Amino acid sequence: MLQVLRNSQRGTADHGWLQSNHSFSFGHYYNPDEMGFGPLLVINEDRVQPSRGFGTHGHDNMEIISYVLSGALEHKDSMGNGSVIRYGNVQRMSAGTGVQHSEFNHSGTDLVHFLQIWIKPDVTGIEPGYEEKYFDTASKAGSLRLIASPDGRDGSVLIHQDAHIFASILSAGDHVKYGLAPGRTAYVHLIRGHAEVNGIELNSGDALKISEETLIDFKNAADAELLLFDLPY
């Protein structure tokens, strides 16, 4: 089964310093038909004005992944971590028993544009944790690069859920296939560009929910960057 979520169907929020698109219900945006997809609960596409950001706030029992698209995102947390992440960096924070953190646009002149992803963990009450990895463009070009997994294999960040996240950059002529195991579902989020996924055309901001399929087929791309989530039911 294939179900499309178009960019125009996403929730929006404009706070002046922050423009956000919500794939699933979040904050003041509520859509009973979009409450997440399995353990994938949040995909927010955020654009933050220079020198602005999210002040210190708390999370618990959530796997939080940041994927920067452009600009520089500054992070500080109660575990003592502090860093600035840019395009190619993937940041994972396991909130566990509770963590306080802040996120700001590190630049005084340029927007920071990033995806924030929340995944419900399969274990609660763990000690909070933090990890950051860099994935170069070449490793994602014309292929599916594993960036997050439950075992941290292939240099991916480790998440506490039976979920696998892949990043890909596809150009014209690229044709990539992914086998989906029985009892698994998938979610494709097209970050930018154009691609055809299982015969369905997707453009920037579109997504595709996939269930009861054995193969995911990516082709006819144009300057595409996407994330593929392999998820349990």
pLDDT in tens, 106-136: 999 999 999 999 999 999 999 999 999 999 9
User: pLDDT tens across 60-82, in order?
Assistant: 999 999 999 999 999 999 999 99
Separation CA 197–CA 219 (nearest Å): 7
How distant, in Å, are the alpha carbons of 11, 18, 70, 207 from that of 8?
A: 8, 18, 22, 11
| 194 pLDDT above the threshold of 90 | yes
Give the pLDDT band (50/70/90) at residue 39: very high
Strand order in the sheet with 99-105: 53-59, 99-105, 73-77, 82-85
**Fold of domain 2-232:** Jelly Rolls (2.60.120)
The pair of three-digit structure tokens given for residue 172, joined into one six-digit string: 């014209």
pLDDT at 8 over 90: yes
Q: Is the dihedral of CA 84, 127, 97, 187 positive or negative?
A: positive
Q: What are the residue ranges spanned by the domains of the chain? A: 2-232
Q: Can you give the pLDDT at residue 233?
A: 86
